[in-house]
């Protein structure tokens, strides 16, 4: 995989463009936010995350889908359990992943962050393939965006405490930070 800085899209990975984005107000990328998601909750490999980020979730397939039908969300990246990486929004644009959020005295973290969704739940361990993919993706993002650093990688729970819990206690932060030193 290789980032094309002129477009903000990685080459060599899947693209599944989401309509749920807009322009960054300043062009700044200085925060990486790690999330988790599974649709239906706790089920993996369903392709429903992709449908959700494209506003195409089949509402009649699961009761939970009706609960989230009006949400318009996206992330820049999604890493499946097998390590498959998909990009939904250009790094140059603002994906709608953080919601009401705050980091180092600033609110609206979507304005200056990139969002990575891991297929998972707060309590289930993430896979080796996911950590390997996240490590490689993060190393490339750190190289491309000088305002990013290992100290500016946070969980959704860190920027929206009390509202969000992901990536949860199952996420091994030390494993991610060790991968960044490779």
Q: Which of 14, 151, 5 is nearest to 78 (CA)?
A: 14
Q: How far is CA 93 from CA 32, 69, 151, 169, in A?
A: 14, 23, 22, 30
Please list the alpha-helical segments (H only) found in 26-155. Answer: 48-53, 63-67, 128-144
- The rounded distance, in Å, linking the Cα atoms of 142 and 3 is 11
So which residues are the catalytic ones?
117
> Do residues 99 and 33 make contact, with C-beta atoms less than 8 angstroms apart?
no
């Amino acid at each position: 995989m290789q980032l094309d800085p002129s477009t903000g899209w990685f080459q060599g990975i899947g693209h599944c463009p989401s309509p749920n984005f807009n322009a960054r107000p300043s062009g700044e990328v200085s925060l990486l936010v790690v999330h988790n998601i599974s649709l239906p909750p706790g089920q993996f490999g369903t392709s429903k995350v992709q449908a959700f980020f494209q506003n195409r979730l089949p509402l009649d397939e699961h009761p939970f889908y009706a609960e989230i039908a009006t949400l318009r969300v996206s992330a820049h990246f999604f890493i499946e359990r097998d390590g498959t990486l998909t990009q939904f929004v250009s790094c140059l644009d603002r994906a709608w992943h953080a919601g009401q959020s705050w980091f180092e005295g600033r609110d609206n973290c979507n304005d200056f962050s990139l969002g990575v969704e891991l297929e998972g739940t707060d309590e289930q361990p993430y896979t080796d393939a996911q950590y390997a993919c996240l490590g490689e993706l993060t190393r490339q993002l750190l190289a491309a965006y000088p305002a990013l650093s290992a100290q500016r990688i946070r969980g959704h729970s860190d920027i929206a405490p009390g509202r969000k819990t992901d990536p949860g206690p199952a996420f091994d932060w030390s494993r991610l930070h060790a991968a960044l030193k490779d």
